[in-house]
Amino acid sequence: MTILQTENLSKHFGKVKALKSVSMDVREGEVFGFIGPNGSGKSTTIRILLGMLSPTGGEATVFGMDAKNQAVDIHKRIAYVPGEVNLWPNLTGGEVIDLLMSFHGVKNEGRKKELIRDFQFDPSKKCRAYSKGNRQKVALIAALAIEPDLYIFDEPTSGLDPLMERTFQKYVKDARAEGKSVLLSSHILSEVEQLCDRVGIIRDGEIIETGSLTDLRHLTRTNLYVETSHTLENLEQWEGVHAVEQEEAGWSFQVDTEKMDTVMAELSTFGIRKIESAPPTLEDLFMRHYEGSGGGEE
């Protein structure tokens, strides 16, 4: 079942076209990674989904309801953590967490205490004294304590240290295990790889690729390093082989996933002494899409 959907969403700020055409959907019980560099339109899309902005064109629905007109009903079932958390300087972190929870009518003291402990957060300080990471913890703790049906995270870990990032990932995995849905926007690829079932890649206000990580890997190449007993020749002219580089004792290169079979068969005739392969990382995938918009790779 689709939880969240956008169709040909566009948004113009004066002459600036922040979003050109964004179509994506988040299904029930999945973690959807929304990736793209800064300024590509991630936050604008999210702000439309939250009803804070009206789209110039297209449609945005959450739980089958219009994102802008039925915002209050939608928001009863979601929690949101913005990338840049701004808090009231003269309230304490604990006060803000309670305040945000009470807008949902949620008490959930036990879970709140657990979250405060797991995120090693000191709720007694005034918000003006918190670092960026600690302000983010305030929003994260409140969101996770609300336990909604859908979480929307906009680069939630950009201020957290690696240890806290892991705590965050644990909670996201738990949420998915309970059948909750998550929209996770990020430019930290390892995080997306760790958590997401499907990803959508956005660039310059357009979704350029959507699918599961396995789907997308079809479009990518595997990194290989081989050492052979017979000398390899004219490797760069083989079909499906790219980025050939000679190393001290062997060769490293990339192979198109769909040509893997023929390349391996050919390689084995040279007597393989050592072979190392690395799966394509999201980084490779990402880079291919961003290698200059005019590049012939796509």
Among 2, 128, 277, 291, binds other proteins (CB under 8 A): 128
Closest to other proteins by CB, 27 or 76: 76
Closest to other proteins by CB, 130 or 251: 130
Segment interacting with other proteins, rule: CB under 8 A, options 98-106, 202-210, 222-230, 263-271: 98-106
Closest to other proteins by CB, 140 or 160: 140
Segment interacting with other proteins, rule: CB under 8 A, options 119-127, 207-215, 222-230, 289-297: 119-127
Establish if 159 lies at the interface with other proteins (CB under 8 A): no
Among 102, 120, 246, 293, binds other proteins (CB under 8 A): 102
Q: Closest approach of Cβ 274 to other proteins, in Å?
A: 50
Binding mask 41-80 for other proteins (x = CB under 8 A): ------x--xxxxx----------------xxx-xx-xxx
Segment interacting with other proteins, rule: CB under 8 A, options 86-94, 206-214, 255-263, 265-273: 86-94
Establish if 276 lies at the interface with other proteins (CB under 8 A): no
Tokens 């079979």 belong to: 261
Segment interacting with other proteins, rule: CB under 8 A, options 87-95, 165-173, 177-185, 197-205: 87-95
Closest to other proteins by CB, 35 or 53: 53
Establish if 96 lies at the interface with other proteins (CB under 8 A): yes
3-state secondary structure 209-274: EEEEHHHHHCCCEEEEEEEECCCCCCHHHCCCEEEEEECCCCEEEEEEHHHHHHHHHHHHCCCEEE
Residues that bind other proteins (CB under 8 A): 47, 50-54, 71-73, 75-76, 78-80, 82, 84-92, 94-104, 123-126, 128-129, 139, 152
